[in-house]
Structure 1
Amino acid sequence: MNASSFLIPTTSILIILTVWILYSLAGIAQLAPDYEILDTDSGVAAMHIAVTAPNKIIIIDKVQNNTMRFSDGRPVSTLEYDLDNGARRILPLMSNTFCSSGGFIANGTLVSTGGAEAIPNDNYLAGFSSLRFIDPQDDKCQWREDLNGMMTHRWYPSSITLSDGRLFILGGSKFSVGVNNLTINNPTFEIYPSDDRNPKFFQFLVDTLPFNLFPIIHLMPGPKNQTHLFVFANKDSIIFDWKAEKIVKKLPRLEGASRTYPTTGSSVMLPLRPEDDYKPIVLICGGNKKNNPKSTAANTCGRIDLSDLDKANWEIFAFGGLPRAMPNSVILADGKVLFLNGVAKGVAGYNSIKHHILKADDPVLNPVLYDDQQPNGKRFQKLNPSTIPRVYHSVATLIPNGKVFIAGSSPQQNLILSGVKFPTELRVELFSPPYLSSNHSRATIKSVNGSKKINKGPIEVNYDQCIEVEVTISDQEPEFTAALLHYGFVTHSTHMSQRYVSCIIKNVKPNDKGFILEVVMPPHGNIMPPIPVYLHINNKGVPCDSAVHLHLKE
């Protein structure tokens, strides 16, 4: 065979170049995100998720005919899922967790808040007032439950961890409902733990009816003694002082679509960076102008800089070219935001099989990547599509290896695996963001402050502490950055307490095994609450092969 046998015909080259150019114009060239099926059956439909350890996720569903069962035949509603081997450990509960919320408190406990009606046939009690507790540091942990842990019913509430490590629980309705109304609205908040168990009135959740369920809440960065929250529902938002129990500032309306349930969008507080004095910027994307199954989803985002409240106003721009309701918004290890899942038409809620009505249709399979470090107009980039529709009750979260865990989609009132347009989805995907296709080397964290017990339980660190992090890496000229992430509690497109804080690296010193980094922890709980977090060390934007589990302490 001579050399000419290896020559590619000119016409073939032209075809290849043409295809490449077309893909480039479509905005997906050089971005080869990868999807893999981690599991074909999650055991329970993933309505709520929370990362509880470097290799563990708790999956929570309502009480329905899930594929996993107790020995007596009752359906399982919650389990712990092992990311390494797919093992599932059943976590029994007494009450129905349907449409609850959750978050972590200062001692590392995950708290689940609220729920729905009793399911007598399956021996489950009503969960409207329940508080549930689980300690992820215990490998054999089980739920502890207080059926009357809250003084009021909460269905579709939101929760967020405060700067002092307690949980702020807001809103919801008193009973299950498709759209909230004045009769069953619960315009109150409470804090756990607290000596004062009485719910406090919250007028804002009256003013924002009817689309005020799963309100959006972000902890405002600021001075250590500041006690401010950003709260958004429907189209309106306020700055609320949770300690003084009063509104500090009413913000301008975000015109256009409604953004909270059932006209559901999704929100993040963009990465907080010390070089910008932890400037708070909130991004809210998607939703719908009408509570109508045939209404096209919103193709807009709102972005507001809250560093000067007197000048704060919404900047409105296109949502990456793809209308989307019910998106998930995941802050990645490099600080970019991934929007995925959801639909181009319709709203949140169950399909009516009897009347052949889909509450939502036209699933959006392409994620979009948002880079706030780029100029406006160039911040979004469309990525390759998944093949699995993720509609109502879909979830996604970053995990410590830099990938994104994707699960759920249960738009029927009961688990249905076939015979409908969007059956209950039990497959679990892992999505590899573009940074995992980079040729840059990934670091491996070997020790933190001298401890080599990496991810054998959270390593305790203090605020404002300069910690030593030893890494190995093949790159001889690395460019390190560091960040703390809390992945949050995820349900119904609401990523409660999700947070990204960049960390200053003071020194990088080579040693015989790699490098020693001096990484400065955030100054106090208003920047990152005192809860379990994950330290990501990036090289040229590529995350380390596994983030390290830390626990911030005062």
Structure 2
Amino acid sequence: MTRQLPSSSRRSSLAKKAMAFATAALALSSRASAAKRAGTYEIVNHNSLASAMMLGVIDEDNVFILDKAENNSARLADGRHVWGSFYKISDNSVTGTDVNTNTFCASGATLGNGSWLVAGGNQAVGYGGAAQAQNLNPYADYDGTRAIRLLEPNSSTWIDSPSTSITQVNMLQSPRWYPGIEVLEDGSVIFIGGANSGGYINRNTPTTDPLYQNGGANPTYEYFPSRQTGNLPVCQFMGQTNGLNMYPHTYLMPSGKIFMQANVSTTLWDHNNNVQTALPDMPGNVVRVYPASGATAMLPLTPQNKYTPTILFCGGSVMSDQMWGNYSGPGGDILGITASNDCSSITPEDNQGNQTPNVQYVQEETLPEGRSMGQFIHLPDGTMVIVNGANKGTAGYTNATYNTIQYNGKTVVTEGLSQDPTYVPVLYDPSKPKGQRISNAGFSASTIARLYHSSAVLLADGSVMVAGSNPHQDVSLDMPTGTTPQAFNTTYEIEKWYPPYWDEPRPYPQGVPNTVLYGGSPFNITVNGTFMGDSANAKAANTKFAIIRPGFSTHAMNMGQRAVYLDYTYTVNDDASVTYMVNPLPNTKAMNRLLVPGPAFFYVTVGGVPSYGKKIMVGTSFTGTGNVPFTAALGSALISLPAPVNSTKFTASISRAGSSSSSDFGLGKIIGIAVAGAAVLALIALGCCLWRRKGRNNNEKAAARQSTAPWTSRDMGSGPEYKRVDTPVGSVHGGPGRFGAARMDSSHTFESYRMHDQASASESKEALGGYYDQPRSGSRAGYASSPLAYDQHERGSSQGQYQQGWGEYHAGDAGAYYEDNTNRYGGGSGGGHSYDDYPPQQYQQQQQQQQQQQQQQYSQQQRQYYDSPRR
């Protein structure tokens, strides 16, 4: 039996129908995708000017970025390289700023008066991180090992006045690279340990001087403002943790002691009397500090857990003592060692400062994959997200045979010590039962590897800013792809990660205070009936008042990060609005220590959806320098709040019951994928129709035409581990401008290190030096060896000097320059507007215009679909 084919006119009609359906389906998919950003990343700026080794949130609309002194192509007006910048959230713009001292691997915090402090760092360097005298080309940088830099409230200028005089007021008493830092209850700061010049870890092998490492380590501690004269006291814990003690994890406890964790050891340290109380070691010998760099945070402090401090650790590394090596690098090839997936917690004290009896670490759960260099970010809905990191290796970099490759006839040192970036974030929900707290379901992967020297912070709008990554001694933009080991570029893209609540309508509370004190009378906050609606009772009962300090972000840590939730009651009014009565912080010294005085952000989360955060002051109403230390006032005891008052009119349940589960928005993605799949099937059907039609008219097979385009490095890398990353160079807007050098294409592998960026037309590449000869020598003629150069750890027959550092990896090819897109992404936290005006009218209009345009496009596509058969 012969099957009759449709007529030509009918095939044409079918083709038109298939095309119309495919167009409409793709439009629906696109529309759904555009509307749903929750659980995804978005690149909001392609050039941070300085690679973001460090981040700090200044206010609702501004974030500072700090890098080390290195060969970033952006320049200041005086021609100096940029290693500091400011990111403006509302328009996604970036501007460079002057920093004088080398901020490489500094620590940071907010003082009790609201000022930002960034302290310590590295000595003055030239190209390739080679040590040199201060204030010389190419960077004209100054020694940062003893620097204390201040950024006052409402200022856009760092107070960073370098001096060779040891009597300078804003200077540490001793050099510190990778120091621990903790803000105290009086608003002052303590600095703990660190290295004098640095390396992979803070020790020599064999170790004959555990405390000072023959001059390499600094086991002392000091305060700012200074409390001490003469010789600084020694923290014995620095010697006991033998090298794995740079950037120790520190948390001020209710007793006033400092919980401290380094290597696999844990202690409660009375810093006032320099007395330690040993706590249990980390289970499984998992190292959590740098360079293992596990994620760590204090869990949210809530009325429900009676503000009892619990510290959570996730990820890190387990290696033998020999493999941890010494200053020069690991004891062997660590690139294939999988990071730990363990999550363990400890509760050192109760909420009154009494040590927990028989305290032990408790294994929580396991991560979906092992992760080094992940970092926890508190979200205002009470959850925590882990972003960034790698599944194999550790933080840091070195020059060794195992990360040296041959590529296009050249020897390339990939430098970085990690592989297999972890692109998908992980959510931790402490309110859920054990075994259900960790999930990454529904989350999309980033397209950018964030490894060593990456950073992340919570923004006032409730999104997470993610930036940085640089596993190199200096800027490197021409790393090849598709190699083993994989190399990664210096990274300048700024991303936002949107939490599960992002697509929901936001509450806009009225009456949020400017200051929250320890004790005193409750305050009232109102949320309007338009937002609360028929489910006002349920939403009122499911409200959280969060005070979050995002902390200073660097090296997979957010130093000083805290999240504290306030107790409240409420009355549901006849118009569906809700008036909340909110107690301030408890009037105890314990709370004064758990959440020390200083700036923070206040969020009101209703039904799992947070408001925009408002910057407030905790424990004091003053801002400005010269006011620390001080004794924070403790007000009257908190009152017992009355019972909530519900309404008989607004009893509906919450249609969107919270943000703690990614499954809420995972369904939307599944629907989008299904619609897109239907579109693809329609296009396949269309293709079949056209092919069969063409086959009847032409029996000749058409061979695919060979491309005449030459092969380039841009074609390299197709797997998820080799995601393409285009790294920008030059001024923000892609041409000669305020920050100097013109943009340049970085796709040509292994040009001279400066990569065409001459200071003058007559300056030769040869005079500037090539990148790959410098790291192997560790020095430049006429200058001392790089501060990161040490005798090679004994692991082979060849000996030499090796430079160390801390960087992360861009998974991808060298890439081309991206234009800045500050005009493309509007909105934000509405800088310059009062809190009660959020979101800004302009932002609302933009959103309405976008929705109208989408609706018009959708209507047109619907008409096309229904009209096409008649055409």
Normalising by structure 1, what TM-score? 0.87
Q: What is the identity, as a one-letter code, of the residue corresponding to 1:142?
A: W
| Distance in 2 of aligned mates of 1:85 and 1:300 | 39
Asked if residue 435 in structure 1 is aligned to residue 441 in structure 2, the reply is: no
Shift of 1:356: 4.3
Of 77, 80, 88 in structure 1, the residue corresponding to residue 94 of structure 2 is 88
CA contact 1:537–1:547 (8 Å) conserved in 2: no
State the match for 1:454 in structure 2.
Answer: none
State the match for 1:378 in structure 2.
Answer: 436
Q: What is the identity, as a one-letter code, of the residue corresponding to 1:53?
A: D
Higher relative contact order (CA 8 A, sep 6+): 2
For residues 294-313 of structure 1, the aligned pairs below 5 Å read: 294-306=336-348, 307=350, 308-313=355-360
Q: What is the identity, as a one-letter code, of the residue corresponding to 1:446?
A: Q
Q: Which moved more, 1:119-128 or 1:314-323?
A: 314-323
CA contact 1:102–1:158 (8 Å) conserved in 2: no
Greater helix percent: which structure?
Answer: 2
State the match for 2:479 in structure 1.
Answer: 419
Shift of 1:511: 8.3
Asked if residue 334 in structure 1 is aligned to residue 394 in structure 2, the reply is: no
Of 527, 531, 552 in structure 1, the residue corresponding to residue 598 of structure 2 is 531
- Could you list the per-position Cα deviations for residues 416-464 of structure 1 after superposition, in whole angstroms to 9, with x for gaps in the alignment? 2233431111111111111224x5x421133335xxxxxxxxx233222
Q: Which protein shows a greater Rg? A: 2
Shift of 1:550: 3.5
State the match for 1:489 in structure 2.
Answer: 552
Asked if residue 410 in structure 1 is aligned to residue 473 in structure 2, the reply is: no
| Distance in 2 of aligned mates of 1:141 and 1:467 | 35
For residues 231-246 of structure 1, the aligned pairs below 5 Å read: 231-246=260-275
Asked if residue 285 in structure 1 is aligned to residue 314 in structure 2, the reply is: yes
| Distance in 2 of aligned mates of 1:542 and 1:445 | 12
State the match for 2:63 in structure 1.
Answer: 57
CA contact 1:102–1:489 (8 Å) conserved in 2: yes
| Distance in 2 of aligned mates of 1:549 and 1:136 | 12
Of 179, 196, 218 in structure 2, the residue corresponding to residue 186 of structure 1 is 218
Q: Which moved more, 1:116-125 or 1:248-257?
A: 248-257
Moved over 6 A (4+): none
Shift of 1:534: 0.8
Change (3 A) 1:295 1:196: same
| Distance in 2 of aligned mates of 1:461 and 1:298 | 39
| Distance in 2 of aligned mates of 1:422 and 1:240 | 39
Q: What is the identity, as a one-letter code, of the residue corresponding to 2:84?
A: T
| Distance in 2 of aligned mates of 1:85 and 1:551 | 28
| Distance in 1 of aligned mates of 2:256 and 2:465 | 32
Of 345, 356, 368 in structure 1, the residue corresponding to residue 426 of structure 2 is 368
- Could you list the per-position Cα deviations for residues 267-295 of structure 1 after superposition, in whole angstroms to 9, with x for gaps in the alignment? 10101112322111110111111242321
SS of alignment partner, residue 206 of structure 1: helix
CA contact 2:314–2:367 (8 Å) conserved in 1: no
| Distance in 2 of aligned mates of 1:199 and 1:145 | 24
| Distance in 2 of aligned mates of 1:144 and 1:126 | 11
Q: What is the identity, as a one-letter code, of the residue corresponding to 2:240?
A: D
Q: Which moved more, 1:241-250 or 1:32-41?
A: 241-250
CA contact 2:532–2:578 (8 Å) conserved in 1: no
Asked if residue 155 in structure 1 is aligned to residue 177 in structure 2, the reply is: yes
SS of alignment partner, residue 526 of structure 1: helix
Q: Which moved more, 1:95-104 or 1:365-374?
A: 365-374
- Could you list the per-position Cα deviations for residues 82-111 of structure 1 after superposition, in whole angstroms to 9, with x for gaps in the alignment? 111133343312210000001011111111
Asked if residue 132 in structure 1 is aligned to residue 149 in structure 2, the reply is: yes
State the match for 2:241 in structure 1.
Answer: 208
| Distance in 2 of aligned mates of 1:509 and 1:549 | 26
Q: What is the identity, as a one-letter code, of the residue corresponding to 2:337?
A: S
Shift of 1:305: 2.2
| Distance in 1 of aligned mates of 2:340 and 2:593 | 32
Change (3 A) 1:502 1:88: same
| Distance in 1 of aligned mates of 2:451 and 2:531 | 41
Change (3 A) 1:470 1:175: same
Asked if residue 164 in structure 1 is aligned to residue 216 in structure 2, the reply is: no
Shift of 1:158: 2.0
Q: Which ranges in structure 2 are unaligned for 5 or more consecutive residues?
A: 1-13, 15-35, 126-135, 204-212, 325-333, 405-411, 481-486, 621-632, 634-871
Change (3 A) 1:144 1:118: closer
Asked if residue 507 in structure 1 is aligned to residue 570 in structure 2, the reply is: yes
CA contact 1:522–1:528 (8 Å) conserved in 2: no
CA contact 1:31–1:384 (8 Å) conserved in 2: no
State the match for 1:11 in structure 2.
Answer: none
CA contact 1:390–1:409 (8 Å) conserved in 2: yes
Of 377, 388, 391 in structure 2, the residue corresponding to residue 344 of structure 1 is 391
State the match for 1:24 in structure 2.
Answer: none
State the match for 1:247 in structure 2.
Answer: 276
CA contact 1:445–1:546 (8 Å) conserved in 2: no
Shift of 1:508: 4.0
- Could you list the per-position Cα deviations for residues 189-220 of structure 1 after superposition, in whole angstroms to 9, with x for gaps in the alignment? 11211332553210001110121111001121
State the match for 1:552 in structure 2.
Answer: 619
| Distance in 2 of aligned mates of 1:499 and 1:486 | 5
CA contact 1:239–1:251 (8 Å) conserved in 2: no
Q: What is the identity, as a one-letter code, of the residue corresponding to 2:605?
A: N
| Distance in 2 of aligned mates of 1:31 and 1:247 | 48
Of 446, 449, 452 in structure 2, the residue corresponding to residue 392 of structure 1 is 452
Number of residue pairs the alignment of both structures matches: 513
Greater strand percent: which structure?
Answer: 1
| Distance in 1 of aligned mates of 2:38 and 2:524 | 34
| Distance in 2 of aligned mates of 1:102 and 1:511 | 48
Q: What is the identity, as a one-letter code, of the residue corresponding to 1:374?
A: K
Change (3 A) 1:145 1:247: farther
SS of alignment partner, residue 517 of structure 1: strand
| Distance in 2 of aligned mates of 1:257 and 1:546 | 36
State the match for 1:102 in structure 2.
Answer: 108
Change (3 A) 1:401 1:355: closer
Of 520, 530, 541 in structure 1, the residue corresponding to residue 608 of structure 2 is 541
State the match for 1:21 in structure 2.
Answer: none
State the match for 1:38 in structure 2.
Answer: 44
Asked if residue 266 in structure 1 is aligned to residue 295 in structure 2, the reply is: yes
CA contact 2:280–2:360 (8 Å) conserved in 1: yes
